[in-house]
Amino acid sequence: MTDFPHIADNLAEVRRHLDAAAKADGRLAEAVTLVAVSKMHPAEAVAAAIAVGQRVFGENRVQEAQGKFPALKAQYPDLELHLIGPLQSNKVPEAVALFDVIESVDREKLARALAGEMQKQKRAPRLFIQVNIGEEPQKAGIAPTEIDAFVKLCRDELALKIDGLMCIPPADKHPAPYFALLREMARRNGLTQLSMGMSGDFETAIQFGATHVRIGTAIFGAR
Ligand SMILES: *Cc1c(COP(=O)(O)O)cnc(C)c1O
């Protein structure tokens, strides 16, 4: 832990800002889950965060998470692990076995594979649909115009329970209109959870109703 003294301070600082933003939005701090994004940081950094009470973590690659989290999860059964990056269909069995939440459901083929695998393993990670909110060709996610039909497909045809929506707004634009758009899409589809906001914009995201913020750099430092 002594190798990562900054992590406790950074976490306390992020929590302070998160609590203030939630309060300003008229919500309790507990209404916003802090997902500490530990990608490209070692298990020892995760352990330093665990030592000061952090329990929810995000990783963007299945293989990297498999290297770090099984041992930590055995030691801390209340850890909650979120997959926040693209999931290849051939990695679905490992992802269903390891993750508690999969935030990156971004295409029909993946939804179908998850439905089958969840039945097979009798394990049901909570699911978020990733929306390509800025309609950027290089980004994954369901197009905004397709989201209602995709939610319906997941629910009606695949019997998948969907918890919420996730997005990553365009890097070069003010995120507020994109957060507002994601909130509206969730509202009209009866979804209550919104994963939006990263190190640079999480306070804005909370102002627009984020229930989950995914924060890496501000906690663990540069990658
Ligand atoms: C890496 C990553 C984050 C965290 O980004 P920071 O800017 O380091 O806070 C959040 N969400 C996703 C999907 C990511 O890949």
Q: Residues with Cβ within 6 A of ligand 1? A: 37, 39, 60, 84-85, 168, 198-200, 214-218
Residue 121 pLDDT: 98
Ligand 1 atom with the smallest distance to the CA of 166 is 13
Show the tokens assigned to 72: 């930590």
Residue 83 · residue 102 · CB < 8 Å: yes
Q: What is the pLDDT of residues 178-220, one digit of tens each?
A: 999 999 999 999 999 999 999 999 999 999 999 999 999 999 9
Element (DSSP H or E) covering residue 59: strand 56-59
Residue nearest (by alpha carbon) to ligand 1 atom 13: 84
Residue 57 · residue 81 · CB < 8 Å: yes
Closest among 79, 86, 26 to 56, alpha carbons compared: 79
At residue 4 the predicted structure's pLDDT band, cuts being 50, 70 and 90, is: confident
Per DSSP bridges, beta strands 164-167 and 80-83 are unpaired
Ligand 1 atom with the smallest distance to the CA of 214 is 10
Residue 92 pLDDT: 98
Q: What is the pLDDT of residues 93-117, one digit of tens each?
A: 999 999 999 999 999 999 999 999 9
Residue 5 pLDDT: 82
The residues near 4 (Cβ < 8 Å, ≥ 6 apart) are 44, 45, 48
Q: What is the pLDDT of residues 157-166, one digit of tens each?
A: 999 999 999 9
Q: What is the pLDDT of residues 60-87, one digit of tens each?
A: 999 999 999 999 999 999 999 999 999 9
Residue 218 · residue 38 · CB < 8 Å: no
Residue nearest (by alpha carbon) to ligand 1 atom 6: 216
C-alpha 82/C-alpha 110 separation (Å) is 16
Instruction: Report whether pLDDT(123) > 60.
Output: yes
Instruction: Report whether pLDDT(222) > 90.
Output: yes
In the numeric block, the tokens 């909370």 are attached to: 206
Per-residue pLDDT averaged across 114-124, rounded? Answer: 98
Show the tokens assigned to 106: 């971004």
Closest among 223, 219, 214 to 32, alpha carbons compared: 214
Q: Calculate how far, in angstroms, residue 214's C-alpha sits from the geometric centre of ligand 1.
A: 6
Q: What is the pLDDT of residues 124-144, one digit of tens each?
A: 999 999 999 999 999 999 999
Residue 3 pLDDT: 74
Share of the chain above pLDDT 90, in %: 98
Q: What is the pLDDT of residues 32-61, one digit of tens each?
A: 999 999 999 999 999 999 999 999 999 999
In the numeric block, the tokens 């990263």 are attached to: 198
Ligand 1 atom with the smallest distance to the CA of 219 is 9
Element (DSSP H or E) covering residue 6: helix 5-24
Residue 133 · residue 168 · CB < 8 Å: yes
Instruction: Report whether pLDDT(1) > 50.
Output: no
Between the alpha carbon of residue 180 and those of residues 3, 107, 190, the distances in Å are 40, 23, 15
